Structure 1
Amino acid sequence: MLHTLITISALLLGVFGQPTNGDIPILDCVNASANIDKVLDASNEQMKRDNRNTASVGDLVEDVTTSILGLTISTPVTATEGTLSSLDTLERAGNETDCADKNFKEIEGRLKFDQLVLTFKSTKAKFWFMEGEGQLIVTVKNPVFNYFIANGTMGCRLWSFSSANPGDFEYSVIPSGLESRLVGYVLRLNLGHEIIESVVTSLTDAVRSSVEAYFTK
């Protein structure tokens, strides 16, 4: 583990350099994609070794507009005990730009995952007079995130991190009984834009924490 940490630190030092003296630098910019790939490989491997390729996420509480057989109704959904998996598959999404002088470095670009899986172990929903319980699984394909990292007088920091493209969403519900099966079927048919914003927020927060813990260190 120590060897891996030293390797990550050395690679990042090669990308980000040393702190600035506080003056506004005039920076030269180059393509840093090859170095970033090495850093990502090392940080993903370290994440696996630390068994930190999953993260807890906040609860999902939404009213979902459901419609079946011409009946439209607001369905309250509460999903808890959420876990985001596959965080150790982070990749570069495009060319990364490294801008620097002898004292200051900054780098920005985009990172992506082929797929992230968000599982809520306890999900409750009510449709009309029926109540259902089970698991809600949200599969997010090809999410992309913007990032900006700078190393200066305050050290190496992730200054900004945001969703660039939320990706494509697929939903599945694992019901706990017959009534839950029907509610789950209705819910799966109608899940959509109403929960995407909440899911994207949860994903972005979890991925940012992972990037801060491994990619920028």
Structure 2
Amino acid sequence: MALLNSELFFSAWLDSVTNRKEILLTDWRNSKVYTNLIKSSEECILRDVADKLNLKCYAKDYYSIDSVLYTDEDLVPGIQENTYWFRQIKVAFEHENNFNGGLYQEVAHLLITNSELKVLVTYPNGDTTHEMDYLHKIIRGCNHQKELSDKESFLLIFGYESDFEWEAFVYKEDYWKRIVVGAKQTTNLVSAGSI
């Protein structure tokens, strides 16, 4: 496996959701079914992403985290088969259908979870500026924010039903950096003066 990073995750995410576009659009507005398609079912998007990244997926809540991606080496050794106790994890994943429904809680879960990559997927229904500023302020206030910035290990993914578009942003100390898969283009969305 190549070194796990935000761009690799987003690329795998785009590939997975694009391959299942029709079924996702069919259930987009049915939160329970849609969430199951994203993170819980046997053939969910997150399991497909894990496969593409040569990882495994624990698709159940784990200490308030929606899902976890891991390798066998991340499991506590010597435990009973089909039990899941992790000593480390590769990806902590949160999914929130309601953009205006407390994203700060999802960010807080991710910030206190020790993982190589922290991912939040949500679905804006309007302007994202205020919420992105707020989330940036939360992350910037934690004691490991510089590491998150340097390693680009906090990924925010937005999904839009219209035109089936997906955007990704990585936390940086003074802004959100837009990820454009397959390109070097970045956009600074939150400046130091606005947080």
Give the TM-score normalised by the residue count of structure 2: 0.29
Tell me which of the two structures has the higher relative contact order, counting C-alpha pairs closer than 8 angstroms and 6 or more residues apart: 1
Question: Highest Rg: 1 or 2?
Answer: 1
Higher helix share: 2
Higher strand share: 1
TM-score (norm 1): 0.27
